[in-house]
Amino acid sequence: SQTIHQWPATLVQPVGSPLSLECTVEGTSNPNLYWYRQAAGRGLQLLFYSVGIGQISSEVPQNLSASRPQDRQFILSSKKLLLSDSGFYLCARGEFFTDTQYFGPGTRLTVL
């Protein structure tokens, strides 16, 4: 099994509060991991990707950051949330030999 878990499933946070979203992957070693954001009615925007522990590439720096403390764990963080951070956050893993990305169930974030 190469299941992707995301926690929490739903989150409502006030503006200016911190954020921590977690993604964990089962079954595969050293996967490429990705964070995407999807605004309502829009396509997916790549935020960060990681090819290994401690290795993070940022596509949209803004007020978000990502970390990969363990091989199968990818965390999305913010020190102070903005209204514009509301959206649906998806974690994905890349399959090495086929370059195919598989997605987790997502986290719905609402910033009020």
Q: With CB under 8 A, what is the number of residues at the site for another protein?
A: 24
Binds another protein by CB under 8 A, chosen from 33, 68, 104, 109: 104
Binds another protein by CB under 8 A, chosen from 11, 46, 53, 56: 46
Q: How far apart are CA 6 and CA 27, in angstroms?
A: 15
Give the DSSP per-residue string, 46-69. EEEEEEETTEEEES--TTEEEEEE
Binds another protein by CB under 8 A, chosen from 21, 34, 48, 76: 34
* Three-class secondary structure of residue 101 per DSSP: strand
Q: Which stretch binds another protein (CB under 8 A): 16-24, 34-42, 68-76, 77-85?
A: 34-42
Q: In sequence order, which residues have a C-beta less than 8 Å from that of residue 73 and are 6 or more positions away?
A: 22, 23, 24, 25
- CB of residue 16 vs another protein: minimum separation in angstroms? 26
Is 108 near another protein (CB under 8 A)? Answer: yes
Please give the structure tokens belonging to residue 38.
Answer: 């999807």
Binds another protein by CB under 8 A, chosen from 19, 33, 48, 49: 49
